[in-house]
A and B are shown apart, each in its own frame.
Chain A
Amino acid sequence: MGKILKLIGQRLAIGLLVLWIVSLIIFAGLEFLPGDLAQEILGQSATPESLAAFRKELGLDQPMHTRYLGWLGGALKGDFGVSLANQREISELIGIRFANTIFLAVLAAIISVPIALTLGILAALYRNSLYDRMVNILTLSSISFPEFFIAYILIYIFSVNLDIFPSLANVSADTPLWERIYTCLLPALTLTLVVVAHMMRMTRASIINLLASPYIEMANLKGMKKARVILYHALPNALAPIINVVAINLAYLIVGVVIVEVVFVYPGLGQLIVDSVQKRDMPVVQACSLIFAGTYVLLNLTADILSIITNPRMLYPK
């Protein structure tokens, strides 16, 4: 057991290191801006005196590492500074939007994960059947579609023609849960369609890989029933690859949400980052990037650790 704790500890340490370097990269972004933050805020017409004063106020006269530590320290406490566009506290802007984004991603995950795993495992079990080939063509097409294409097709069908779902996913903090789910269904469905195809193909590939192992053939030669071969022999070994597939796709969901949020004008973090990029509102972009990257790193880390603890070779060392 000590070995496994050590391994997990190592992964955690690496994850933290990666997060730290990511924060460095994101922070360094600001340094490359032509001019500096004060110039950006006050504009070209500002006098040198007012610029200098404002720099001092923002702490821009400090050396870079002091500013980085200040920024990182703030970020860790949830304080990302103020937006350039509207001078509001960034943490205020982000808080509710991040929750919205997570809600949408979780909703999509709840729909997509069971569907994708079932379809993927079935496709692997009935490999090269008509079903498998159909699914292959369908998923290949589906991963080829840009998210906004799927989104607009869904809008065209369900809100323009059938008029059963709204084309705008407008939620606020006090929207009740059921209404929230109802309004979010089209965006969630869009994400589902994109992510199911990926997840299903990866699941199919890893299960096929597994079923080709000699120990599965051995189980067949021992006369085991198909159900037992799958449940007792294949499944325990399939956990690690499947967990990996799910985690990768969940990470993808969090990011893929950006375009879907824009299409449905959903008040999430993706919408915010796109708006801020257009306004070149650097501190907000930094804050959003850090949150997205952090979530992404954490999900991948979780997958890593889960696949360690589901691997019998790791669980029961020599």
Chain B
Amino acid sequence: MTQQTSTIGESTDAAPPPVYKTSRFKTAMRELKKAPLSAKFGLLIIILYVIAALFAPVFAPFGESEIVGTEYEPWGDKFFLGTDNLGRDMLSRLLYGARNTVGIAFVTTLFAFLIGGVAGIFAAILGGWADQVLSRAIDILMAIPQLIFALLLLTIFGTSIPVLIGIIAVLDSTRVFRLARSVSLNVVVMDYVEVARLRGERLGWITIKEVLPNIMPPLVAEFGLRFCFVFLLISGLSFLGLGLQPPTADWGSMVRDNATLITYGDITPLLPAAAIALLTVGTNFVVDWFLHKTSGLK
């Protein structure tokens, strides 16, 4: 009797169409094929930059801070993109710059996510006073404009690479905290989290098994955006002479060091700036597509 009624019951209760059981890789490739041109372009750029960063010593004709010619040599066979204000090869420094600037921005973003992400999820799950204290502290940190705060802290702690990474990571983690907290709040109110709490699960399980898998898409998108932001901020600081210090090759300071050339109609100093812009454009295109995919429409 129960068997029979249940079949009637199921008859109006259509399950969604079966999901094709293909590997994740295949699904990703299929999605990629459908992706708009801008996203493909962005991916290509990211891949090229990663290759450049990883294999900079292989591709670069000269050393990172090796003085190989006279100052401001024009483009030519020996120095493909000429030399800089100290007579170092521009192309080599551009390639090494990918490694330094992109690498440091990436590491900084990772730290920012580690700090802000964990704190944000905890704040959402714990709620109550823990959430209040964290959120208010973050509000106040965010009330100071980021660049100004960075300048203030750099004055105090000096400008070495670990300090730079630390300061920017902490400052940027405030933004990550806000996002992680707000997307986690949407998940934390879900009944399945309540089920886990009532089962007696610990904070670690709830964070890793229940909340984290469900907030990955917005976090991944935010990672792209934060990376762009951190990358631009560090480049900006370097441009101001307060970021990566010489003789490290870095795109921001390369623009600054050679800026005088522009007034003579030479676009060489624009190249590192363009390198910065290209990567952020590419990343933004990919993130835009990803957001579009994961949020349905926007």
Q: Which residues of A contact B (CB under 8 A)?
A: 18, 21-22, 25-26, 29, 32-33, 136-137, 140-141, 143-149, 152-153, 155-156, 159-161, 167, 205, 208, 251, 254-256, 258-259, 262-263, 273-274, 276-278, 280, 282, 285-286, 288-289, 292-293, 296-297, 300
Contact = CB atoms under 8 A, between A and B. Distances in A.
A32 B140 contact: no
Contacts of B149: 289
- The secondary-structure label for the interface of chain B is helix
Given A146-B252, A149-B274, A278-B241, 7 more contacts: A141-B281, A147-B236, A152-B269, A205-B298, A273-B148, A285-B152, A292-B145
Interface of B: 38, 139-140, 143-149, 151-157, 228, 232, 235-236, 239-242, 252, 255-256, 259, 262-265, 267, 269-270, 273-274, 276-277, 280-281, 283-285, 288, 298
Contacts of A148: 236, 239, 252, 255-256, 273
Given A144-B277, A156-B262, A278-B242, A255 B148 contact: yes
Contacts of B276: 146, 149
A25 B144 contact: yes
Contact of B273 (A152, A205, A255, A277): A152
A196 to B, nearest CB: 16
Given A143-B284, A152-B270, A258-B147, A22 B242 contact: no
Given A140-B281, A152-B273, A277-B151, A21 B140 contact: yes
B40 to A, nearest CB: 13
A84 to B, nearest CB: 11
| 10 closest residue pairs by CB, A with B | A144-B280, A149-B273, A255-B145, A144-B281, A145-B277, A292-B148, A293-B144, A18-B143, A277-B155, A140-B284
- The secondary-structure label for the interface of chain A is helix
A156 B270 contact: yes
A22 B143 CA distance: 8
